[in-house]
Amino acid sequence: MRIAVLDLLFNWPPDGGARTDLKELLVRLHRDHHVTLLVADCPRHFPRGRNAACLGLPVEHIPAAPWQFTADEFARRLRAVLDRLQPELLFFADGWYMKPAILARLQHFPYVLRFYAYEGLCLRLHFFRHGQTCPRDYLAGHPDDWWQCTQCALGWIARHRSRPFFFEYLGSGAWLPGYRTTVRTALAHARAIICYNEFIRQRLLPYSRRVHLLPSGICPDNFVFHHAARRSNGHQRILMVGRTADETKGFAVLLAAFRLLRMRYPHLQLIATSETGSAHPEPGVTLLPWQTQEQLPALYADADICVVPSVWEEPFGIVALEAMASGVPLVVTDVGGLQDIVSHRHDGLICRRGDPQALAAALTELIEQPEFADTLRRHARATAQCYTWDTVYRKFSAILTDAAASAPAAAAPVS
């Protein structure tokens, strides 16, 4: 089967789990089908299309300079490439605001849509506002919700001073009232939609009945499994792998919990990765620069407990699987895909999001009960083995094959 794969954000080395996810699946897909990767080509601001040839499959670069990156212009250029390649299926991977805007202009091509997060479903892209999950749903709500969501999105873009988001927000028409209809149209015509967790799925079901849950994967053998605790009680190293400056990742909550624990365990240490790495004034806290995929196994190997303290609806949570494969006892919060991965008190602990006391209590249990921690780590390794890339790929390939063979999706109402 001839498959065209479009990704508006792909670059390598990866800047996040979505790039790794696509790379692992495409390498396998290319063994069974003729796959061409289509990338937006823009070296400025966000490095779209960088090193795409590293995957070892045919690549088509579509110019996407900021002043040219509009839905109409990019869709026109994309359509020309698709007319030349004549794929039997288009798989649309990652993108921000432009993703539904382009698809709404390509309804005659059979396509499968992948959601890595909440693109198109939330104008702020993450359903997170004022420290908690935002209850507003501008797609399903009253038209007035569009205005409130637009103001929220513009304020968020302005605060982060993000040129890529700003250019894409303008070029996609996401600031227009009709963008709601654009998103609904893109969802309604998809042969299949793939997402990570039930939170996303429930927001997609009103617009398509062809929604599939598919997790991300991991290479468990890349991580050394540790069968027992490395350090004695009160001397453990707690690890957080995530962007500490991103409020959705919950570092502030973890830091508050750590302060509570340090009063009882003065030798406890907290290690966290940040965007650039910087000194931290707090005793016992170390901030490391962003770690590469090659550096991560050693980081987990030197940790005694891993924490994923996210306060937003984390789409998946690959960090949790990496810790489980490494045999590091794990604490996560009750958000998004994390609670789908971890079974509470079987292969990890789940605590209430945004609650330093609850997080400190969970960490205390692992610090003071090494036998319980050892039980969790053994079960966690077995869980990680269920998420190998080959296992994920078999499900992914079946979805694409069924989508290519299915009848065109019946369009849902878009008014």
Per-residue pLDDT of the chain (415 residues; tens, 9 = 90+): 999 999 999 999 888 789 999 999 999 999 999 999 999 998 777 789 999 999 999 999 999 988 778 999 999 999 999 999 999 999 999 999 999 999 999 888 999 999 999 989 999 888 888 888 888 888 987 777 888 899 999 998 988 778 888 989 999 999 999 999 999 999 999 999 999 999 999 999 999 999 999 999 999 989 988 766 677 777 899 999 988 888 899 999 999 999 999 999 999 999 999 877 677 888 999 999 888 888 999 999 999 999 999 999 999 999 999 999 999 999 999 999 999 999 999 999 999 999 999 999 999 999 999 999 999 999 999 999 999 999 999 999 999 999 999 878 755 544 4
- Does residue 281 have a cis bond before it (omega within 30 degrees)? no
Q: What whole-number distance in Å separates Cα of residue 166 and Cα of residue 389?
A: 34
In this structure, what token pair is assigned to residue 94?
């990652």
Please, what sign has the CA dihedral across residues 139, 140, 143, 145?
A: negative
DSSP string computed for 367-399: HH-HHHHHHHHHHHHHHHGGGBHHHHHHHHHHH
Backbone angles phi, psi at 331, to 5 degrees: -125, 125
Q: Mapping DSSP to helix (H, G, I), strand (E, B) and coil, where does residue 92 land? A: strand
> Do residues 282 and 261 make contact, with C-beta atoms less than 8 angstroms apart?
no
CA angle 2, 43, 79 (to 5 degrees): 35
Fold (CATH) for 220-387:
Rossmann fold (3.40.50)
- How high is the pLDDT of residue 411? 52
Residue 343, judged by CB atoms within 10 A of its CB (0-12, 13-18, 19+), counts as middle
Backbone angles phi, psi at 46, to 5 degrees: -95, 125
Q: What whole-number distance in Å separates Cα of residue 137 and Cα of residue 127?
A: 9
- How high is the pLDDT of residue 415? 43
> Do residues 31 and 1 make contact, with C-beta atoms less than 8 angstroms apart?
no
- How high is the pLDDT of residue 162? 82
Give the number of residues written for the chain: 415
Q: Which of 66, 88, 89 has the alpha carbon at shortest distance from 8?
A: 66
**Could you give the C-alpha distances from 302 to 226, 271, 291, in angstroms and in order?**
10, 10, 14
Alpha-helical runs (H) found in 135-250: 143-160, 163-172, 179-188, 198-204
Range 2-217+390-405 has CATH code 3.40.50.1970: no
- How high is the pLDDT of residue 178? 92
E strand or H helix at 364, and its extent? helix 356-368
Q: What whole-number distance in Å separates Cα of residue 198 and Cα of residue 336?
A: 7
Q: What whole-number distance in Å separates Cα of residue 109 and Cα of residue 383?
A: 38
Which residue ranges does the chain devote to CATH 3.40.50.2000?
A: 2-217+390-405, 220-387
Alpha-helical runs (H) found in 173-327: 179-188, 198-204, 251-262, 296-301, 318-326
Other Cβ atoms less than 10 A from the Cβ of 232: the count is 11
- How high is the pLDDT of residue 414? 44
> Do residues 174 and 149 make contact, with C-beta atoms less than 8 angstroms apart?
no
Residue 371, judged by CB atoms within 10 A of its CB (0-12, 13-18, 19+), counts as exposed
- How high is the pLDDT of residue 39? 96
Other Cβ atoms less than 10 A from the Cβ of 394: the count is 11
- How high is the pLDDT of residue 163? 85
